[in-house]
Amino acid sequence: MNISALNERRNRILKALISLYIKHVEPISSKFIKQKYNFLISSATIRNIMHELEEMGYIKQPYTSSGRIPTDKGYRYYIDFLMKKEDLTSYQKQKLKKEYQALSKKVEDVINKATEILSSMSYEAGVNLFFNFKESLLRHIDLVNITYGRILLTVVTDSGAIKDYVIKLSEPVADNELREISNFLNIYLQNVPLSRIKTELNKHLKEKEKEGLSVDLTKKTLEIFDSKDIFEDEYEIYQNGINYILKKPEFRDIDRLKCILDVLENKEAISKILRDSFDPSLKRVKVLIGRENKHKSIQECSLVISNYRIGNRTVGLLGLLGPTRMAYSKLLPLMEYMSEVLSKVLTRCLLDYEEDEIDE
């Protein structure tokens, strides 16, 4: 039967069953629904409707003589058609503002804190994928001597990420030469994708060499950028809240618990799951329930995800990972609000950096 076949009575019973199961984490009987919701129909009628919902695949009986629990299909219908989102309380919004006001302007600190706050407010595992480099655009480069033959290379991207690299050279570079190299790089490489920096650098150096740029200076510039795999990082992963997973009744089974912990403790696994779920055009929170997830390791879980931005550019993906029995009506509004707050704070961080740069 098609989803549209659900009538008003089926909708009410399915919504009641899912709401009760999310709260009580045990199979729900017709008698319990009648007791909690006082529907003007008998327990026998509720039981018949539950039988219809089971035949349609929205609920199932985990074992003989038990009540029913929702299926992935049931949760999907609940989220898409039955659930009413709960607004964040004034206390929750104030808590978020207070947490962020205490932060530094460093992008990495802001993103890490967002993951921690999301996890603590949802009681689920928070995960965060930040596209900090490679596909970002170069905003600014600084080169500073720190010791003999070593320089500090500081890179700032349009996503607000700031990274420092200590580069060891075959011979020292004078301060005035470093300033000349820095000026050259910032003039010709600004707004170039980091994945194309070396290609663009070679092209411009050949052009400037013809105009009389010092051959020695050209070699020193190339040595700086060839000394290690600069700009090869594609992303950074942040995660928080494994302690909440340990407390979930669904993960009392050791094999199921091990499966999700293996994911949460493996940044490569988290990265792949989030990258495969990434949609740069995503305008609202997305929920992947159970087998809707491509990765077998989390097919007994739900993944709630939302993009966040700096200005109009998507720079990362915020997510919650937990059992399919999530409190979706509370978590979806929380995710929406967190994504908006994170986007605003990161945009502000970048603007503050640019203002500081102008003041200097």
Q: Work out the average pLDDT over 71-77.
A: 97
Beta-bridged to residue 150, according to DSSP, are 147, 168
Which residue did the predictor score with more confidence, 122 or 277? 122
- What CATH class has 138-226? alpha beta
- Common-topology check for domains 90-131+235-359 and 138-226: no
Distance CA 306, CA 339 (A): 7
pLDDT in the model for residue 2: 47
> What's the residue count for the chain?
360
Coil, helix or strand at residue 14: helix
Least confident of 71-85, 123-137, 218-232: 218-232
pLDDT in the model for residue 204: 82
- What CATH class has 90-131+235-359? alpha beta
Distance CA 146, CA 204 (A): 27
Q: Which helix (H) or strand (E) holds 335?
A: helix 328-359
Distance CA 284, CA 161 (A): 24
Domain ranges (residues) in the chain: 3-82, 90-131+235-359, 138-226
Q: Which of 70, 61, 17 is nearest to 39 (CA)?
A: 17
Identify residue 356 by its one-letter amino acid code: D
- What CATH class has 3-82? mainly alpha
End-to-end CA distance of the chain: give it in Å, rounded. Answer: 68
Which residue did the predictor score with more confidence, 131 or 76? 76
Helix axes 254-264, 267-277, angle to 10 degrees: 80
Q: Which of 342, 338, 340, 335 is nearest to 285 (CA)?
A: 335
Encode pLDDT of 327-357 as tens digits. 999 999 999 999 999 998 888 877 765 555 5
Which residue did the predictor score with more confidence, 37 or 310? 37
pLDDT in the model for residue 184: 85
